[in-house]
Amino acid sequence: MPDTGGVLNAEIVAWLKRPGEQVEEEEALCLVAWGGQRAEITAPARGVLRMIAVGAGKTVAAGNSLALIDIGVRALGGPPSPVPPPRHDPPTPPEPTELRPPPTPRFPRAGVDVSPDRNIIV
pLDDT digits (tens, 9 = 90+) for 69-78: 888 766 555 5
Structure confidence by residue, pLDDT tens digits, 36-50: 889 999 988 888 988
What order do you get walking across the sheet with 67-70 strand by strand?
22-23, 47-52, 67-70
Q: What are phi and psi of 37, to 5 degrees?
A: -100, 155
**pTM for the model:** 0.55
Rg (CA), the chain: 32
Kind and range of the H or E run holding 119? none
How does 15-45 read in b/e, with b if 16+ C-beta sit within 10 Å? bebeeeebbeeeeebbbbebeeeebebebee
Task: Determine the pLDDT at residue 120.
Answer: 36
Average pLDDT rounded to a whole number, residues 112-118? 47
